Amino acid sequence: MSSGMKVGAVIITMGNRPDELRALLDSVAKQDGDRVEVVVVGNGSPVPEVPEGVRTVELPENLGIPGGRNVGIEAFGPGGTDVDILLFLDDDGLLARNDTAELCRAAFEADPKLGIVSFRIADPDTGVTQRRHVPRLRAADPMRSSRVTTFLGGANAVRTKVLAEVGGLPDEFFYAHEETDLAWRALDAGWMIDYRSDMVLYHPTTAPSRHAVYHRMVARNRVWLARRNLPALLVPVYLGVWVLLTLVRRPSRAALRAWFGGFKEGWTTACGPRRAMKWRTVWRLTRLGRPPVI
């Protein structure tokens, strides 16, 4: 039975996956309980035909993933406050179960400090969850639900009170690490984040490096993430660890060149407002298994 919490969904699209988008919208429409209101944002492109009742916003230019999602948030009122919970779903995903919205309502109703829920992403054909889609260091068992320190951008639910308190996603990032930026701000404000293996979004297995800008933006935004959020003493430690991890992974020469170009860009360009997290938040992240140095 629905708890009474209103649920909305934000989906951004480039307009190039109309069949997948329609399947996703159908899976949202089939959710148990009260109707989930949906806004589809055309991120610099027209929105393909959608079912009656689905609202659309068409942007004249591509604002990136966080920028597009922020527009979707505001379509539900300032900070999304016309609803209690917002789902953020990739346009080529598919909700695997009809009770996902009800599970979200129950989770947020049961835990007033729960701010964000990260869904499990699984391949629709094999059912396999990629290790990178489990938002914790100990990722060997994707079927284990747990408290975590970040979440998956295209498969999650956020209590809109979090957005009202700490703000939305960082527009400047365009692509990569915007979820961790929001997660750290939410944790610093006292909210918690859960990974739930029973809330599943089917999504084809892909590699993030398929995006041409991947290596540059991952490095640039990693620097921005540290500059915006970490205590000054931890900034060089965090970034030093990531330089070493990048070298250990032995990317191609072209990828490494792009990565270090992005790393330099992260230091030489504006990253938005700085709000260093409290040291007690550093300790909380550490207790949750992911100290903010990795």
Asked if 161 and 248 sit in the same domain, the reply is no
**What mean pLDDT comes out for the span 66-72?**
98
**What is the distance between the alpha carbons of residues 40 and 69, in angstroms, rounded to a whole number?**
9
Q: Residues with Cβ < 8 Å from 129, sequence gap 6 or more?
A: 120, 121, 122, 123, 142
Both tokens of residue 256? 């490494």
Q: 194 in helix, strand or coil?
A: strand
pLDDT at 212: 57
Asked if 51 and 164 sit in the same domain, the reply is yes
What's the chain's average pLDDT?
A: 96
Say if 237 falls within a structural domain. yes
Asked if 126 and 146 sit in the same domain, the reply is yes
Say if 136 falls within a structural domain. yes
Assign residue 127 a region (left: φ > 0; alpha: ψ between -120 and 50; beta: otherwise). Answer: left
Say if 286 falls within a structural domain. no
Asked if 125 and 166 sit in the same domain, the reply is yes
Say if 15 falls within a structural domain. yes
Say if 293 falls within a structural domain. no
Please report where in the chains the tokens 């079912």 appear, as a residue. Answer: 51
Burial of 129 (0-12, 13-18, 19+ CB in 10 A): buried
Say if 89 falls within a structural domain. yes
**pLDDT tens-digit profile of 191-230?**
999 999 999 999 998 776 555 589 999 999 999 999 999 9
Closest CA to 63 of 13, 116, 113: 13
Asked if 57 and 198 sit in the same domain, the reply is yes
* Whether the predicted pLDDT of 3 surpasses 70: no
pLDDT band at 294 (very low <50, low <70, confident <90, very high): confident
- Look at the chain and report how many structural domains it folds into: 2
Asked if 170 and 244 sit in the same domain, the reply is no
Is the pTM higher than 0.85? The answer reads yes
* Whether the predicted pLDDT of 64 surpasses 70: yes
**What mean pLDDT comes out for the span 73-102?**
98
80 within 8 A of 6, measured Cβ to Cβ: no
Angle in degrees, CA 135, 83, 59, rounded to 5:
80
**pLDDT tens-digit profile of 128-179?**
999 999 999 999 999 999 999 999 999 999 999 999 999 999 999 999 999 9
* Whether the predicted pLDDT of 282 surpasses 90: yes
Closest CA to 97 of 23, 4, 198: 198
Asked if 35 and 72 sit in the same domain, the reply is yes
Asked if 45 and 189 sit in the same domain, the reply is yes
Asked if 170 and 228 sit in the same domain, the reply is no
**What is the distance between the alpha carbons of residues 95 and 199, in angstroms, rounded to a whole number?**
8
183 within 8 A of 167, measured Cβ to Cβ: no
**pLDDT tens-digit profile of 94-108?**
999 999 999 999 999
Asked if 163 and 29 sit in the same domain, the reply is yes
51 within 8 A of 25, measured Cβ to Cβ: yes
211 within 8 A of 218, measured Cβ to Cβ: no
Asked if 180 and 216 sit in the same domain, the reply is no
Which domain does 247 fall in, by range?
212-275
Last-in-domain residue among 162, 182, 202: 202
Asked if 122 and 252 sit in the same domain, the reply is no
Say if 284 falls within a structural domain. no
Say if 53 falls within a structural domain. yes
CATH code of 103's domain: 3.90.550.60
**pLDDT tens-digit profile of 12-49?**
999 999 999 999 999 999 999 999 999 999 999 999 99
**pLDDT tens-digit profile of 234-260?**
999 999 999 999 999 999 999 999 999
